[in-house]
Amino acid sequence: MSLALLVLLGASSSACASSVTQRPFRFDVAGPPLATTTQDVARRMSRDAETMPVIVDTQHGVVLSKWTVVGASASMRLWPPGEDRSWLVQRWRAVIVSQGPSNIVLIDLEHVLCDATAGFRVDPVALWGRCTPEPTTSEEGQRRVDAKGVMLANTR
């Protein structure tokens, strides 16, 4: 009986999704100045509904898609007793870094947990309320970031 319980526990723990620190996808663009590369990345992102830019900062090399509520989470607290509820909000982000004769483009998915009990508001550009960055993702989430990065790197 105890061996069967150990096998069952081992099988269930291996089925759980592990979390990893999200790593941005990187690709290089040779030649143009920072502002031109930023506009090019924004153009590439505009071809995908999920990454459609709402903020394009050519001076700082940042392109951001709109904030989107993608899920919710809840957890129980022992002390003080209660429940914590949060909304998961995300947006695609491209950061372009000038590196001599070329530019480095970093693509990631910015995740934020917003406290549902304290209340929060979201619009395409801004969040209001008690929200904290969530730097981890699942292995599937990392594959999604990498796939989106490859797609953007190959878009012309």
Amino acid identity of residue 85, one-letter, is: R
- CATH number of the domain where residue 45 is located: 3.30.530
Q: Residue 96 domain-assigned?
A: yes
Query: What is the per-residue pLDDT across 51-97, written as a single tens digit (0 to 9) for each?
Result: 999 999 999 999 999 999 999 888 888 888 888 889 999 999 999 99
Q: Which two tokens stand for residue 69?
A: 């509520």
Number of domains in the chain: 1
Q: What is the pLDDT of residue 17?
A: 57
Closest CA to 95 of 122, 128, 64, 120: 64
Query: Does 98 have pLDDT greater than 60?
Result: yes
Query: Does 3 have pLDDT greater than 60?
Result: no
Query: What is the per-residue pLDDT across 120-150, written as a single tens digit (0 to 9) for each?
Result: 899 999 999 999 999 999 999 999 999 999 9
Confidence of residue 11 (pLDDT cuts 50, 70, 90): very low
Note if the bond before 24 is cis, omega within 30 degrees.
no
Distance CA 16, CA 12 (A): 7
Q: Residue 88 domain-assigned?
A: yes
Q: What is the pLDDT of residue 14?
A: 37
- 3-state secondary structure at position 34: helix
More confident residue, 10 or 117: 117
Cβ neighbors of 100 (< 8 A, separation 6 or more) are none
Q: Residue 67 domain-assigned?
A: yes
Full residue range of the structural domain in which residue 142 is found: 24-154
Q: What is the pTM of this model?
A: 0.82
